[in-house]
Chains A and B, each alone.
Chain A
Amino acid sequence: GAVVSQHPSRVICKSGTSVKIECRSLDFQATTMFWYRQFPKQSLMLMATSNEGSKATYEQGVEKDKFLINHASLTLSTLTVTSAHPEDSSFYICSAAQPLRYTEAFFGQGTRLTVV
Chain B
Amino acid sequence: AQSVTQLDSQVPVFEEAPVELRCNYSSSVSVYLFWYVQYPNQGLQLLLKYLSGSTLVKGINGFEAEFNKSQTSFHLRKPSVHISDTAEYFCAVILGANNLFFGTGTRLTVIP
Q: Given A103-B49, A108-B43, A110-B41, are A34 and B99 neighbors across the interface (CB < 8 Å)? A: yes
The answer, yes or no, to whether A93 is at the interface (CB within 8 Å) is yes
A46 interface contact, C-beta 8 A? yes
Which of the candidate stretches B15-23, B61-69, B75-83, B100-108 sits at the interface with the other chain? Answer: B100-108
The answer for the CA separation of A57 and B104 in the assembled complex, in Å, is: 23
The CB with the most chain A CB atoms within 10 A, among B36, B43, B105, B107, is that of B43
Residues from chain A with a CB closer than 8 A to the CB of B32 are 103
**B side interface size, CB within 8 A:** 21
Question: Counting CB contacts under 8 A, is B7 at the interface?
Answer: no
**Selected contact of B45 from candidates A32, A46, A102, A107, CB within 8 Å:** A107
Asked whether, in the complex, the Cβ of A49 is within 8 Å of the Cβ of B99, the reply is: yes
With both beta carbons as reference points, the residue of chain A lying nearest to B6 in the complex is identified as A43
- For the residues of A in contact with B, the DSSP-based class is strand
- Contact code string A1-34 (vs B, CB < 8 Å = 1, else 0): 1001010010000000000000000000000101
Chain B binding site: helix, strand, loop or mixed by DSSP? strand
Q: Which residues on A sit within 8 Å (CB–CB) of B42?
A: 109-110
Inside 8 A of A93's CB, which chain B residues have their CB?
43-44
- The residue that A42 contacts in the complex, of B49, B99, B104, with Cβ under 8 A, is B104
Of all A-B residue pairs in the complex, the 4 with the closest CB atoms, nearest first, are: A102-B98, A107-B43, A107-B44, A109-B43
Given A91-B41, A107-B44, 17 more A-B residue pairs with CB atoms under 8 Å apart are: A4-B43, A9-B41, A32-B98, A34-B99, A34-B100, A41-B105, A42-B105, A44-B90, A44-B102, A46-B101, A95-B44, A102-B94, A102-B98, A103-B49, A107-B36, A109-B43, A112-B41
Q: Which residues of A contact B (CB under 8 A)?
A: 1, 4, 6, 9, 32, 34, 41-46, 49, 91, 93, 95, 97, 102-103, 105-110, 112
Task: Identify 11 residue pairs between A and B in the complex whose beta-carbon atoms are under 8 Å apart, listed by A's number.
Answer: A9-B41, A32-B98, A42-B105, A43-B90, A44-B90, A45-B102, A46-B101, A95-B44, A105-B100, A107-B36, A107-B45
